[in-house]
Amino acid sequence: MQHIIKSTLLISLLFLFSHTTLANTTIEKEIAQYIDKNLAKSKAMLEKTVNINSGTMNFDGVKKVGAIYQAEFDAMGFDTQWVDGSKFNRAGHLVASYGNSGPKILMIGHLDTVFAKDDAFQNYSVVDDSHIAGPGITDMKGGDVIIIAALQALKALNLLDNVSIKVVMTGDEESSGRPLSLSKKALVDAAIWADIALGFEDADGDIKTAVVARRGSIGWQLDVVGKPAHSSQIFTDNVGYGAIFETARILNSFREQLAGVGNITFNPGLIAGGTEVQIQPENSIVQGFGKTNVVAKEVTVKGGIRTLTSNELAQAKKVMQDIVADNLLHTSATLTFADGYPPMSPTDQNYALLKMYSDVSESLGYGPVAPVNPRNAGAADISFAADHVDMAIDGLGLMGDGGHTKDEVADMSTFAQNMHKAAILIYRLGESYTQ
């Protein structure tokens, strides 16, 4: 849904930013020069943290990466805290705050990766002059370092006093702790405080794009029950069709009625059926036992659904529940939905913030920045913040390819560029607010 502006702050900000002149070009050059001068230190920090395994469930590794970043914020005079994650079975989150004037800006990163402690992909390695491979280098330790480097430049040049900053680096973006009301509380609280949210994921890996909308992602489970009997009696009035035929009807009806509708996609990723089904939710395992001469009694399907707006999600849920309720003879079915990532809906304010970011990029000679197709950007932590702020964009991090795989490689030509853009965007937001 469209956001309601909290105050006149952002209306004024949009107007003033659009009338920014070139009077501050010298200062902006100094910001870029400071970043470039300290780029080797930023690369060293990136290498150090990429070489620390911080798979979501490796709590010690997540905390070690968080401690390195926390020390950087402490050195800049930020107020920092580690939010303990024991209540939601995760390592926790790093929160760093600075300032109490000007626009309130939330910067979002995450400390964890998809690579477990025993994964074979563990190390930072140079591919060539402009590419470096490493677990989590683009998703998203590169983005974390961009946050830190941009703020270090502004702090060193005494340019942070016109904005208020809150940085949240979560420890469970890749596998959220439960309940979400606890695991996402630090992020949501920061978003409620903020006016603007900036996310530093790598999005679709293209420096010429940024994210104004992300589809939400939630899980669903379908449980179907039929009447067990000898298979010779299937289709009779006494036995009916069995659980597997009913499941096939339901899934095919989902496809027929929802495939290609708006930005809705859904996927049954796991299925088991037969005389008996056993579920191990902690290991994402579903096992079925049955025989070819017995009509199936049970089926369980686990899947996911992605939508761009809350209305799309409500529409999809209704269609799916209506299909599930129209059962074949002697069968019944239950469809349940889990908590997950809400949509980051496209809004006029998000597009306006992207325009500001694109203006910065063009002024630096890097060219315009266009919106990412939401189908090319997965769910991310900014989705929990977007509905609480006036404007939000994501995809401001280190670009590259192969995220979530052993082929994850960063395009290091984008490293300094996105530091420049983030720092100057924040600087201009602060200057616009004071005009």
pLDDT for 207 beyond 90: yes
Q: Domain 9-214+343-434: which topology?
A: Aminopeptidase (3.40.630)
For the stretch 332-346, pLDDT in tens is: 999 999 999 999 999
- Lowest-pLDDT choice from 122-136, 238-252, 308-322, 367-381: 367-381
Residues of the chain with CATH 3.30.70.360: 216-337
pLDDT for 145 beyond 70: yes
- Percentage of the chain lying above the pLDDT 70 cut: 94
Q: Are strands 298-307 and 216-225 parallel, antiparallel or unpaired?
A: antiparallel
Q: Which residues of 204-226 are buried (b: 16+ CB within 10 A; e: fewer)?
A: bbbbebbbbbbbbbbebbbbbbb
Residues of the chain with CATH 3.40.630.10: 9-214+343-434
Burial of 421 (0-12, 13-18, 19+ CB in 10 A): buried
* Whether the Cβ atoms of residue 417 and residue 366 lie closer than 8 Å to each other: yes
Confidence at 4, pLDDT banded by 50, 70, 90: very low
Residue with the two structure tokens 């708006």: 262
What is the DSSP code string of 169-197? EES-SSS--SSHHHHTHHHHHHHHH-SEE
Across the range 425-435, mean pLDDT stands at 85
392 - beta bridge partners?
197
Across the range 200-218, mean pLDDT stands at 95
- What's the confidence (pLDDT) of residue 68? 98
- Identity of residue 99: G
* Whether the Cβ atoms of residue 68 and residue 49 lie closer than 8 Å to each other: yes
Average pLDDT in the chain: 93
- Closest by CA to 423, choosing from 336, 349, 363, is 363
pLDDT for 19 beyond 70: no
Q: Which two tokens stand for residue 101?
A: 């004037």
Q: For the structural domain made of 216-337, what CATH number should be given?
A: 3.30.70.360
Across the range 239-263, mean pLDDT stands at 97
Q: Which two tokens stand for residue 422?
A: 């983030």
Report d(CA 274, CA 426) in Å as an integer.
Answer: 58
Report d(CA 131, CA 408) in Å as an integer.
Answer: 10
Confidence at 432, pLDDT banded by 50, 70, 90: confident
* Whether the Cβ atoms of residue 150 and residue 72 lie closer than 8 Å to each other: no
* Whether the Cβ atoms of residue 257 and residue 250 lie closer than 8 Å to each other: no
Distances (CA, A) of 67 to 74, 86, 108, 170, 414: 10, 17, 17, 13, 25
* Whether the Cβ atoms of residue 104 and residue 164 lie closer than 8 Å to each other: yes
